[in-house]
């Protein structure tokens, strides 16, 4: 079985994506120069209650500015990420890629 990697965003060089065979909880992967982390988004009653950054088995963890930028990005775009997850995994819609070159405020 071949799994695809729907890319959601590129943010300051970090590629943020899903694997096509993902599972809950809702999460995204962030990859930069061979390092990778994932961010899990916990929801309760339609509200985000927690976001955790975790290691991806077999991969080196993002570190330094890349880890900080990934975490800040996911916190800033969490509701958009949830919407894209729903579009892709529930509604089977195509996901549009967005490249963001400037720092989020």
50 assigned to some structural domain = yes
Q: Which domain holds residue 87?
A: 7-100
pLDDT tens by residue, 74-99: 999 999 999 999 999 999 999 999 99
Sort strands 7-11 and 35-44 into parallel, antiparallel or unpaired: unpaired
pLDDT of amino acid 4: 73
Determine, yes or no, domain membership for 59: yes
- Answer yes or no: is 1 within a domain: no
pLDDT digits (tens, 9 = 90+) for 47-72: 999 999 999 999 999 999 999 999 99
Q: Has residue 14 been placed in a domain?
A: yes
Domain assignment present for residue 13? The answer is yes
pLDDT for residue 1: 57
Give the pLDDT band (50/70/90) at residue 22. confident
pTM greater than 0.85: yes
Sheet strands (E) in 1-105? 7-11, 14-17, 27-32, 35-44, 47-55, 98-100
């Amino acid at each position: 079985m071949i799994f695809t990697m729907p890319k959601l965003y590129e943010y300051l060089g970090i590629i943020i994506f899903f694997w096509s065979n993902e599972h809950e909880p809702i999460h995204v992967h962030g990859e930069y120069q061979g390092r990778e982390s994932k961010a899990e988004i916990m929801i309760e009653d339609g509200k985000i209650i927690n976001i955790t950054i975790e290691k991806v088995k077999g991969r080196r963890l993002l570190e330094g500015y890349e880890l900080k930028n990934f975490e800040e990005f996911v916190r800033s775009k969490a509701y958009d990420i949830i919407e894209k997850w729903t579009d892709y995994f529930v509604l089977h819609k195509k996901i549009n890629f967005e490249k963001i070159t400037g720092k989020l405020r």
